[in-house]
A and B are shown apart, each in its own frame.
Chain A
């Protein structure tokens, strides 16, 4: 489904990613771990099409299309979703209104008819329960005045409504206490289906206790230095990232 080949990315002339290779098949969950500054967030942002990143080499194919040629909204239309590490507040814009515009934007991209407000609201009611988001937040301004946990739950709720085929979770666990972490992970687990893949970007192993990955990749200095299964995450937790860094130097 997703094929990243020899991806090099620079920010203001400085290389951040130095030759990433990653293949994600339908239904798989890949964890990308790594120390601060290893390029984890850069990878998430480049996948979603954020400005300010210069791809100097390599390619990203998503369902046989070159993702790098597409605008962020087109990538959403193709089925890419990024759950933000720091969800953005937008004053004066209603949460549900934004989501309806998003869903209809995606449907328009795919040549599907718009959902009516009635159809949309019915769907929203079902899904908001599934991810355990307080219904009262639906009609609030986008992320405005939300707690850290509420913001992250709102991201997962958006994921459930927009139904992407590739969901990138960028440090979704950051800033969450253990209960909120569990709740968010439960929401994600309910959305795991055979046709949907996840890239879970995280610093800590603890999220992976709840969202159990099929593969774990360790990113260091812009490269994937090790790939393994969920056991790799446990080793990392025990021995720290320095262990890998040292090994690499040898």
Chain B
């Protein structure tokens, strides 16, 4: 009988199921980053003058910044001049007006990913915005949502149709100067999703965006902006995949959430960008800035993420708890395998009185991967009776992976209560033997233990997504047990 460690090694030789490439007509800007690139993107999208100016200002800020090196990840410096900043299926003029006009190959792509638009449209009742490389391809259910005043459209459409809203909120949560990658995104973002939920409205369905990087040598720089006005609620789902390629692709997105008084946003992500092969070749560099501004009293934002993809993940979905009694939550599963590296976590910044935050982070490291939780809990002087509870658990598979925890706590108010719990464990041979002796295959037994480990987080996901996430965790650990 092979040793347990070897078995696990076999198991984690994973295959990437979303790694196909769709051969469609592409319009692609040659690689290179300069002012002309930005002018080209802006012109391509017929953007108003203010937005072009904003982009150019952000670009100037970007030029004065340097790539951050503090994360627990190693990679060769990214040459931004080798990336194409705009890739679009077909020509802009021929953009599809309805589902029937979408290139069947793109639809096929989404079907391969298990998200048939047609079916979703009818069955799931989920409104979907699909971002294929740089442009938003289609948004379903727009009309139906409009009946209750909910705006859900591509970022480009929002700029055209709701310029005032975009202008009012864009960059107010994540300023361009926030970090190197957010500055880059602000300069060159090409599309993304825009959501506005009007006052006292509960969005009647889950909103969903699927991101897919298809074109070669391209980067994806999408921008998501969600505004939940007073007393409103929305649940937003985000999924991502990319084809298998030998070279690394950069994904530097910015997500901004704003909640007013008594509003709530539930933001769920299942991230399955191509992680690279078992030798660490290829894969997505996922450098994403996600932040919520809980501006209103009693407002609430929940981030739930299941991260199984990307060669490198650098991502800290955060909450600025500005409004009194506001609540921030972060539930995360990050699974790394082979040579993947993840440095992910959250920031909870307590500014308002009686603000509460909860952080539950589950890291699973397999293969020779590096998995780090990095989190900041900051309580400002004005945040009377702020509370935080943090729990970080790490599960190691095999004996060549690593788990790290970097918690930062800054507290300027003596009334605050901050709790931090952390654990690291190895998948137990006794548990495996117990399940196998009951008739459960080793692979299924590992999945069961891993899913059990992640349960507190998975239960936060909307039902359809939870099923997908469980499947994904399974696939990411799956291999060739003989």
Co-complex (A, B) = yes
Chain A residues at the B interface, C-beta cutoff of 8 Å: 48-51, 71-73, 75-77, 81-82, 84, 87-88, 90-93, 98-99, 101-103, 105-106, 109, 141, 158, 162
**Interchain CA distance A77-B436 in the complex, whole Å:** 10
**In the complex, given contacts A51-B1, A88-B433, A92-B455, what are 20 additional A-B residue pairs having Cβ atoms less than 8 angstroms apart?**
A48-B433, A50-B437, A51-B4, A73-B439, A77-B439, A84-B434, A87-B434, A88-B428, A88-B430, A90-B449, A92-B451, A92-B454, A92-B456, A98-B435, A98-B438, A98-B448, A102-B438, A105-B438, A158-B438, A162-B439
Q: Please, which residues of chain A bring their CB within 8 A of the CB of B3?
A: 51
Contact A51 B433 (CB under 8 A): yes
Asked if A76 meets B453 with Cβ closer than 8 Å, knowing A88-B431, A90-B448, the reply is: no
**Interchain CA distance A51-B448 in the complex, whole Å:** 20
**Interchain CA distance A109-B439 in the complex, whole Å:** 8
Contact A73 B449 (CB under 8 A): no
Chain B residues at the A interface, C-beta cutoff of 8 Å: 1, 3-4, 428-431, 433-442, 444, 448-449, 451-456
Min CB distance B360 to A, Å, is 12
Q: Please, which residues of chain A bring their CB within 8 A of the CB of B439?
A: 73, 76-77, 102-103, 105-106, 109, 162
**Interchain CA distance A201-B469 in the complex, whole Å:** 43
**Interchain CA distance A13-B444 in the complex, whole Å:** 32
Contact B438 A93 (CB under 8 A): no
Contact A73 B436 (CB under 8 A): yes
- B431, B444, B452, B454: the one contacting A105 at CB < 8 Å is B444
Contact B437 A49 (CB under 8 A): yes
Contact B433 A50 (CB under 8 A): yes
- B435, B437, B442, B454: the one contacting A90 at CB < 8 Å is B435
Q: Please, which residues of chain A bring their CB within 8 A of the CB of B429?
A: 51
Q: Please, which residues of chain B bring their CB within 8 A of the CB of A92?
A: 451-456
Contact B436 A90 (CB under 8 A): no
Q: Please, which residues of chain B bring their CB within 8 A of the CB of A106?
A: 439
Among all A-B residue pairs, the 9 with the closest Cβ atoms? A92-B452, A92-B455, A76-B439, A102-B438, A93-B452, A106-B439, A72-B436, A88-B434, A105-B439
For A103, give the chain B residue with the smallest CB separation: B439
**Interchain CA distance A104-B438 in the complex, whole Å:** 10
Min CB distance A200 to B, Å, is 17
Min CB distance B205 to A, Å, is 27
**Interchain CA distance A162-B435 in the complex, whole Å:** 13
Contact B454 A102 (CB under 8 A): no
For A86, give the chain B residue with the smallest CB separation: B430
Q: Please, which residues of chain B bring their CB within 8 A of the CB of A99?
A: 438
Q: Please, which residues of chain A bring their CB within 8 A of the CB of B455?
A: 91-93
For B458, give the chain A residue with the smallest CB separation: A92
Q: Please, which residues of chain A bring their CB within 8 A of the CB of B451?
A: 92-93
**Interchain CA distance A238-B128 in the complex, whole Å:** 76
Q: Please, which residues of chain A bring their CB within 8 A of the CB of B431?
A: 88, 90
Min CB distance B131 to A, Å, is 33
**Interchain CA distance A168-B430 in the complex, whole Å:** 17
Min CB distance A159 to B, Å, is 10
**Interchain CA distance A68-B194 in the complex, whole Å:** 61
Asked if A73 meets B430 with Cβ closer than 8 Å, knowing A92-B451, A93-B448, the reply is: no
**Interchain CA distance A106-B439 in the complex, whole Å:** 5
Question: Can you list 15 A-B contacts with CB-CB less than 8 angstroms, sorted by A residue number?
Answer: A48-B433, A71-B442, A73-B440, A73-B442, A88-B434, A91-B455, A92-B452, A92-B455, A98-B435, A98-B440, A101-B440, A101-B444, A103-B439, A105-B440, A158-B438
Choose among B429, B431, B438, B439 the residue with the greatest number of A CB atoms under 10 Å from its CB. Answer: B439
For A93, give the chain B residue with the smallest CB separation: B452
Contact A90 B434 (CB under 8 A): yes
Contact B434 A102 (CB under 8 A): no
**Interchain CA distance A82-B438 in the complex, whole Å:** 8
Min CB distance A152 to B, Å, is 14
Q: Please, which residues of chain A bring their CB within 8 A of the CB of B453?
A: 91-92
**Interchain CA distance A49-B1 in the complex, whole Å:** 9
**Interchain CA distance A98-B4 in the complex, whole Å:** 21
Min CB distance B432 to A, Å, is 9
Q: Please, which residues of chain B bring their CB within 8 A of the CB of A77?
A: 439
- A48, A91, A103, A141: the one contacting B437 at CB < 8 Å is A48
Q: Please, which residues of chain A bring their CB within 8 A of the CB of B452?
A: 90-93, 141
Contact B440 A71 (CB under 8 A): no
- B428, B438, B444, B456: the one contacting A76 at CB < 8 Å is B438
Q: Please, which residues of chain B bring their CB within 8 A of the CB of A48?
A: 433, 437
Min CB distance B343 to A, Å, is 25
Min CB distance B466 to A, Å, is 13
Contact B449 A76 (CB under 8 A): no
Contact A73 B433 (CB under 8 A): no
Min CB distance A141 to B, Å, is 7
Q: Please, which residues of chain A bring their CB within 8 A of the CB of B449?
A: 90, 93
**Interchain CA distance A77-B439 in the complex, whole Å:** 6
For A82, give the chain B residue with the smallest CB separation: B437
Q: Please, which residues of chain B bring their CB within 8 A of the CB of A90?
A: 431, 434-435, 448-449, 452
Q: Please, which residues of chain B bring their CB within 8 A of the CB of A101?
A: 440, 444, 448
For B452, give the chain A residue with the smallest CB separation: A92
**Interchain CA distance A49-B436 in the complex, whole Å:** 9
Q: Please, which residues of chain B bring their CB within 8 A of the CB of A158?
A: 438
**Interchain CA distance A210-B451 in the complex, whole Å:** 40
Asked if A105 meets B441 with Cβ closer than 8 Å, knowing A90-B449, A92-B452, A92-B453, the reply is: yes
**Interchain CA distance A87-B431 in the complex, whole Å:** 9
**Interchain CA distance A101-B452 in the complex, whole Å:** 14
Q: Please, which residues of chain B bring their CB within 8 A of the CB of A91?
A: 452-453, 455
For B448, give the chain A residue with the smallest CB separation: A93
**Interchain CA distance A102-B422 in the complex, whole Å:** 32
**Interchain CA distance A91-B427 in the complex, whole Å:** 11
Min CB distance B167 to A, Å, is 46
Q: Please, which residues of chain A bring their CB within 8 A of the CB of B442?
A: 71, 73
Min CB distance A70 to B, Å, is 10
**Interchain CA distance A106-B435 in the complex, whole Å:** 12
- A82, A84, A88, A102: the one contacting B440 at CB < 8 Å is A102
Min CB distance B382 to A, Å, is 38
For A68, give the chain B residue with the smallest CB separation: B1
Choose among B436, B438, B449 the residue with the greatest number of A CB atoms under 10 Å from its CB. Answer: B438
For B393, give the chain A residue with the smallest CB separation: A91
Q: Please, which residues of chain A bring their CB within 8 A of the CB of B430?
A: 88
- A71, A84, A103, A109: the one contacting B1 at CB < 8 Å is A71
For B429, give the chain A residue with the smallest CB separation: A51
